[in-house]
């Protein structure tokens, strides 16, 4: 049985971020084991996030935009981001970057094994894999069993953000590298929130992604048909090649994710509630959460910190999630009004849960009141 100070169960976005911040902290000499069932040598996702600050991952930002496009039947606008930028990091670059950084620390080790159990013990926790048992004072886990969460969230609102995307290459230069198309609602809504986003990689290459907020997933063919239709009738492209494809599901729920799974087992990542319930944006929230965990560890305190939204934002998200669930077709108008009536700083601060009550009220009062009133009453009664 191998003993460690910390075991990180799951070496994805949150696990590797935690390891990265640990290696840059006063705990850099701790004995750390990172366990993942995958080798993480494929580009299994790309992360988009906005920020007004430099990040520690600056050197691996693949694409950066200073404008976003918002297109719906209510408005068609290109919005300059001011002090913000919209950044895109490729999963594979992130995995390689963190692993290469950690290779300078002989006390950080990786194994590729499948974890079957994590149990609390008297003085720490043990991780059981298909090949062995490992113990540590603290175990941090991002392993996420959706079925378990759906069961625990039975009395809550539970939607999924599900999306399928293609990286396409065209023979002619057609994409504008200055802007990311964040929302394009020009697709049949089917009383759900459905939109496309387009992330240009070069003038003739872009990720085109079809995104839906709803309870159930579609058939594979339905995503493909919508993608094909958008590319031909909206982007007006016939001559293109599909270079890569992506599929993902992110939980969108007002279930309060537990911060721990035992006295010495701490949840991180989506498993801890780092996915914003009403938007699915997770990457930037993970960074904030795991940094706080490292601070607690440095102070010699138990690293138990909630990644869930503060109660005020939890309530706003619940009201919006309820609209998305019952009448998702209204989302095109709701999001359009938000982007028409507020400036980008106000919007990003609200979405980042940072703007303060005046900013919250400014955003909330700019939205159509009736759906929110009905949804609030519905949740109350």
**Binding region for ligand FAD (CB under 6 A):** 10-15, 35-38, 40, 45, 47-49, 114-115, 142-143, 246, 248, 250, 269-271, 281-283, 286
SS3 per-residue string spanning 39-94: CCCCCCCEEEEEECCCCCCHHHEEEEECEEEEECCCCEEEEECCCCEEEEEEHHHH
Per-residue buried b or exposed e for 283-297, using 16+ beta carbons within 10 Å of the residue's own CB: bbbbbebbbebbeeb
Q: Cα-flanking dihedrals φ and ψ of residue 342, to 5°?
A: -135, 155
What order do you get walking across the sheet with 179-184 strand by strand? 76-80, 67-71, 179-184, 193-202, 205-214, 158-170, 240-253
CB of residue 30 to ligand FAD, shortest distance in Å: 20
Q: Which is nearer to ligand FAD, 161 or 375 (CB)?
A: 161
Q: Which is nearer to ligand FAD, 354 or 378 (CB)?
A: 354
Q: Which is nearer to ligand FAD, 249 or 373 (CB)?
A: 249
CB of residue 269 to ligand FAD, shortest distance in Å: 2
CB of residue 365 to ligand FAD, shortest distance in Å: 27
Q: How far apart are CA 68 and CA 49, in angstroms?
A: 12
Q: Which is nearer to ligand FAD, 139 or 330 (CB)?
A: 139
- The candidate with the shortest Cα–Cα distance to 37, out of 149, 142, 150, is 142
The HSE-up count of residue 82 (CA atoms within 13 Å, CB side) is 8
Q: How many helices (H) and strands (E) does the chain have?
A: 10, 18
CB of residue 130 to ligand FAD, shortest distance in Å: 9
The radius of gyration of the chain from alpha carbons, rounded to an integer in Å, stands at 21
CB of residue 40 to ligand FAD, shortest distance in Å: 6
- Beta bridge partners of residue 241, listed in sequence order: 169
CB of residue 197 to ligand FAD, shortest distance in Å: 9
Q: Which is nearer to ligand FAD, 53 or 122 (CB)?
A: 53
Q: Which is nearer to ligand FAD, 275 or 375 (CB)?
A: 275
Q: Which is nearer to ligand FAD, 59 or 116 (CB)?
A: 116
CB of residue 66 to ligand FAD, shortest distance in Å: 18
CB of residue 238 to ligand FAD, shortest distance in Å: 27
Per-residue buried b or exposed e for 214-240, using 16+ beta carbons within 10 Å of the residue's own CB: beeebeeeebbebbeebbeebbebeeb
Residue 378 corresponds to which tokens in the numbers above? 């519905």
Q: How far apart are CA 192 and CA 215, in angstroms?
A: 10
Q: Which is nearer to ligand FAD, 206 or 271 (CB)?
A: 271
């Amino acid at each position: 049985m191998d003993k460690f100070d910390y075991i990180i169960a799951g070496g994805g976005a949150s696990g590797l971020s935690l390891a990265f911040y640990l290696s840059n902290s006063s705990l850099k000499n701790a004995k750390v084991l990172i366990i993942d069932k995958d080798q993480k040598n494929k580009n299994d996702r790309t992360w988009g996030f906005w920020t007004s600050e430099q990040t520690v991952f600056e050197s691996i930002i693949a694409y950066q935009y200073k404008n976003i496009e918002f297109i719906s039947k209510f408005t068609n606008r290109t919005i300059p981001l001011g002090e913000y930028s919209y950044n895109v990091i490729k999963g594979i670059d992130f995995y390689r970057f963190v692993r290469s950084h950690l290779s300078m620390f002989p006390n950080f080790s990786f194994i590729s094994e499948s974890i079957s159990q994590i149990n609390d013990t008297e003085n720490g926790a043990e991780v059981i894999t298909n090949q062995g048992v490992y113990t540590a004072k603290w175990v941090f886990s991002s392993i996420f069993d959706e079925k378990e969460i759906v069961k625990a969230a039975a009395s809550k609102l539970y939607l999924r953000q599900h999306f399928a995307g293609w990286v396409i290459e065209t023979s002619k230069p057609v994409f504008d590298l200055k802007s990311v198309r964040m929302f394009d609602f020009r697709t049949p809504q089917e009383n759900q929130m459905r939109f496309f986003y387009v992330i240009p990689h070069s003038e003739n290459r872009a990720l085109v992604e079809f995104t839906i907020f709803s309870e159930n997933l579609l058939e594979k063919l339905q995503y493909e048909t919508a993608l094909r239709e958008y590319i031909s009738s909206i982007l007006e492209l016939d001559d293109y090649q599909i270079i890569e494809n992506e599929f993902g599901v992110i939980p969108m729920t007002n279930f309060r994710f537990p911060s721990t799974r035992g006295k010495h087992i701490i949840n991180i990542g989506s498993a801890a509630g780092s996915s914003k319930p009403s938007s699915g944006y997770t990457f930037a929230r993970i960074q904030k959460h795991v940094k706080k965990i490292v601070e607690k560890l440095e102070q010699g305190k138990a690293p138990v910190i909630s990644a869930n939204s503060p109660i005020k934002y939890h309530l706003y998200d619940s009201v919006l999630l309820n609209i998305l669930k019952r009448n998702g077709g209204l989302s095109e108008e709701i999001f359009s009004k938000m982007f028409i009536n507020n400036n980008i700083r106000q919007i990003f601060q609200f979405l980042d849960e940072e703007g303060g009550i005046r900013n919250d009220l400014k955003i909330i009062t700019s939205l159509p009141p009736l759906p929110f009133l009905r949804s609030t009453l519905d949740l109350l009664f």
